Structure 1
Amino acid sequence: MDIFVRPGDSLWRYSEVFNISLQLILDSNRHINPPFLRVGQRVKIPGFIITNYQIKQGDSFWQITQSRNIPLVAILLVNPGLNPNQLQIGQIIHIPVRITWRLVDGKQNYTYDIMMKDIRTLIDAYPFLQSSTIGYSVLEHEIPELLIGNGTKRVHYNGSFHANEWITTPIILTFLNDYLLALTNQSTIRGLSTLPLYRQTTLSIVPMVNPDGVNLVIQGPPNDEVLRNQLIRWNSGSTNFSGWKANIHGVDLNDQFPAKWELESARNSKTPGPRDYGGERPLSEPEAIAMADLTKKRNFARVLAFHTQGKVIYWGFENLEPPESEVLVNEFSRVSGYEPINSAGSYAGYKDWFIQDWRRPGFTVELGSGTNPLPISQFNDIYEEVLGIFLAALYM
């Protein structure tokens, strides 16, 4: 929601009027120098939308503010030049409304386009949430990273490395949505106040590492005849891509990292296909390159890669993980009921590479149970299980 500065206004005053943290207002307006607000300058207030109201016979400002529990000054701020003593029947005025509902609907076949639309909606409503493009998929879909928080501890979550594990994307974005709601409504999640987490931690999220693969699983092969025929051939002649984990090149993106890649490659498929082909070399695929570049740039304290399925958490690699990893995974297990397992006995994964090169905690969290892609009917149960892990990775 945008408002326009009046004489004598301050960001602190806006914080009081809208009952929202000054920190969130500052972070929503990074282009503004707070001591030097200019009359008429546009200021973003996070966590609010504007609705229109048509004045009826007998309406008064007092009635309008009382019925909506909104201070008079809040309505004046979104209606520059309005005289509350001269309302006209039929006149349209703007009413600020606090967002108290989820904007993300994760309980659907969650394609790349739906994700991008939801990200735009979240950024519009919560402008302290930042977004940037870390790279492009094979089919030139942008791969977005979302950043929230301004703390020194840098934590990273990612989802949909594997195409038919796409439910991880709406699960992660639902948590982000709930985090944003708690921040702007000054509420808690499982009894935890979220503003201290925001101040202590910078959370990086790449919700969909493999957009081409996700769309392939959900929507089927693309219309381009050459690519379509190639994919069907790699898929053993089937047009059912529900078992497809790889990117659109038939490369498994979680077998792409230089952490004993040669050992993983030697025992897996040697040709493109639905799963387990690690490519001709490490980091050959643009999606894997984007994730590697981001990780080098951000210098994360810990990373969590969300996959499905099994209700387990893999937390080690070749005994290179620090002692902190076991402390963290035990807390993740306590709050989720998931089983901690030191090693999956595999190589070349994203968390393997992170542990190897940074000697910091990295985790692969396998959500839910069953056959991938997990049915959307499991969404609520999975979310409740993993919510504690999302939070613990921030407060630990």
Structure 2
Amino acid sequence: MKVNIRSGDTLWYYSSLFMIPLPLIIDSNPSLNVSQLQVGQEIQIPGFTNQPYTIKRGDSFWRLATARNISLDALLLLNQNINPSSLQIGQTIYLPARVTTPTMRRNVRYDSAQLIKDIQTLKTQFPFIQVRTIGRSVEGKPIQEIRLGKGTKKVHFDGSFHANEWITTPILMALLNTFLLSLTNNQPIRGLLTNPLYQSVNLSIVPMVNPDGVDLVLNGPPPALRGELIAMNNGSTDFNDWKANIRGVDLNNQFPANWEIEKERKEPKAPAPRDYPGDEPLTEPETKVMAALARNSQFDRLLAFHTQGKEFYWGYEGLEPPESRILAAEFERVSGYKAVQFIDSHAGYKDWFIQEFRKPGFTIELGSGVNPLPLSQFNEIYEDVLGIFLASLYI
């Protein structure tokens, strides 16, 4: 919600007026000089929207404020060009509407266009988040990262490395939405206050690593590649089993962590719907982007969301630090998912992260069944992993 500063107003006053933590207001206005506020200057108040309202007979600012349990001065701030003493029937004013519930729909097939739309909605409602395009897919679609928090502990989440595991993206976005609502409404999540987490953690989320693959599974092949992709898909127009990127490379078999072992033993020796690790490590734009992100950001821990199995993997070649065991025990406790230290697998993002940085890395296998997991599992998966999300920030 945007407001214009009046004479005598301060950000501290706005924090009190709207009951929004001051750091969230400051972070929502990064170009603002807090010590030199100017009358008429536009700023953003997170966690609120401007709601148009048409004046009816008998309305007054005082009655509207009382009926909606909002401050009279908040109404005056939003309607500085309106004379409250001479309201006219049919006149439009604006009411401050606190955002208290998620705006994301959970029962939709979640392609890259839906993700872009939801990210923009969250950025509008919670302008203290930072959104940037860290790279582009084979087809030129943006791979976006969402950042928030002021702390030194750097935690990273990502989803949809695999195309038909696209449900991981709306799960991540729903977790983020819950966290943002908790911050602006000062409401704990499962008894945990989140504003201290905002001060102690720097959170990074890449909700969709493989937008081309997700769109292929959900929307079918782009016209220019239709024949090529159907041929690669064994002549089928059903792409539900497709895990790879649009070039037929399995992105989670692309990282230089014993990649040669996977190259030798994987059955596909050419681009395929799944399991082909490419001709070399890090040949694909999507994996190059994710490797560069980890190198540049120096995350303290990493959680990659996949499906399925209701378990998670937390070790790699004995290179994981002791902290990983502590986190794994807590993740298992709060989610009911099975903690597995070692599996016979290499070249994944988690594997490379542990090998490269000796920091805790996790592959979280959400839900169970046949991929793509049905949306009917969404709420169960969300409740299962909410504890993991919180524990990864808290511990």
3-state SS, counterpart of residue 176 of structure 2: helix
**How big is the shift at 1:59?**
1.3
Q: Which residue of 2 aligns with 1:363?
A: 362
- In 2, distance between residues paired with 1:153 and 1:259? 25
User: Normalising by structure 2, what TM-score?
Assistant: 0.99
Structure 2: gaps spanning 5 or more residues: none
Q: Is residue 240 of structure 1 aligned with residue 238 of structure 2? A: yes
Once the two structures are superposed, the pairs formed by residues 144-223 of structure 1 within 5 Å of their partners are 144-223=144-223
Residue of structure 2 in register with 1:60 after alignment = 60
| Sequence identity (%) | 58
Number of the residue aligned with 1:297: 296
Q: Please list the CA deviations of residues 175-199 of structure 1 after superposition, one character each: whole Å capped at 9, or x if unmatched.
A: 0001111111110111111101111
1:27-66 → structure 2 map (5 Å cutoff):
27-66=27-66
Partner of 2:343: 344
Deviations along 1:97-130, whole A, 9 cap, x unmatched?
0011111113210010001000001001110011
| 1:220-267 alpha-carbon deviations (Å, 9 max, x no partner) | 11111xx21111111111111100000000000000000010011110
* 3-state secondary structure, aligned to 2:223: coil
- The whole-number CA distance in structure 2 between the counterparts of 1:104 and 1:285 is 31
> In the TM superposition, what is the alpha-carbon distance from 1:86 to its structure 2 partner?
2.1
Q: Does residue 255 of structure 1 match 2:270?
A: no
Deviations 1:143-180 (A, max 9, x none): 00000111110000000000000000000000000111
What CA distance in whole angstroms lies between the structure 1 residues aligned with 2:184 and 2:210?
31
Q: Distance in 2 between matches of 1:286 and 1:55?
A: 54
Q: Which residue identity lines up with residue 169 of structure 2 in the other structure? A: T
Alpha-carbon distance between aligned partners in 2 of 1:92 and 1:378, rounded to the nearest angstrom? 43
The match for 2:334 is: 335
TM-fit CA distance, 1:68: 0.9
Of residues 17-26 and 50-59 in structure 1, the stretch that sits farther from structure 2 once superposed is 50-59
The reply on whether 1:380 has 2:384 as its aligned counterpart is no
- Structure 1: unaligned runs, 5 residues or longer: none
Q: How far apart in 1 are the matches of 2:22 and 2:67?
A: 26
Q: TM-score, normalised on structure 1?
A: 0.99
What letter matches 1:246 in structure 2?
A
SS of 2:330's equivalent in the other structure is: helix
- Aligned counterparts of 1:367 and 1:89: Cα–Cα separation in 2: 54
In 2, Cα distance between equivalents of 1:52 and 1:156: 38
Partner of 2:117: 117
Moved more, 149-158 or 54-63: 54-63
Aligned to 1:267: 265
Distance in 1, Cα, partners of 2:155 & 2:26: 22
SS of the residue corresponding to residue 100 of structure 2 reads coil
Amino acid at match of 2:363: T
Q: Deviations over 1:268-304 (max 9, x none)?
A: 0211111110001000000000001111111100000
Q: What is the alpha-carbon distance in structure 1 between the residues aligned to residue 166 and residue 342 of structure 2?
A: 23
Question: Partners in 1 of 2:59 and 2:104 — Cα distance?
Answer: 35
The residue type paired with residue 329 of structure 1 is A
Q: Distance in 2 between matches of 1:319 and 1:332?
A: 19
Q: Secondary structure at the match of 1:93?
A: strand
Measure the CA separation in 2 of the matches of 1:343 and 1:150: 34
What does residue 19 of structure 1 align with?
Answer: 19
Amino acid at match of 1:353: W
AA of the residue aligned to 2:15: S
Q: Distance in 2 between matches of 1:89 and 1:277?
A: 67
Q: CA deviation at 1:55?
A: 1.5
Distance in 1 (alpha carbons) for counterparts of 2:164 and 2:357: 29
**Structure 2 Cα separation of the partners of residues 153 and 336 of structure 1:** 22
CA contact (8 A) 2:310 2:367 kept: yes
Give CA deviations for 1:72-103 in whole Å, capped at 9, x if unaligned. Answer: 11111111132222222222111110011111
CA distance in 1, matches of 2:64, 2:153: 44
Whole-Å Cα distance in 2 between the matches of residues 283 and 265 of structure 1?
13
Contact kept? 2:155, 2:204, Cα under 8 Å: yes
User: What amino acid is aligned across from residue 382 of structure 1 in structure 2?
Assistant: I
Q: Does 1:309 align with 2:308?
A: yes
Ranges of 4+ aligned residues in structure 1 off by more than 6 Å: none
Which amino acid letter does the alignment assign opposite residue 252 of structure 1?
Answer: D
CA distance in 2, matches of 1:217, 1:341: 29
The letter of the residue matching 2:259 is: W
Which secondary structure state, in structure 2, belongs to the residue aligned with residue 119 of structure 1?
Answer: helix
Cα distance in 2 between the residues matched to 1:236 and 1:275: 12
Letter in 1 for 2:335: S
Distance 1:81 1:9 in 2: 17
Query: Which residue in the other structure is 1:278 paired with?
Result: 277
| Count of aligned pairs | 394
Check the 8 A contact 2:61/2:75 in 1, yes or no.
Answer: no
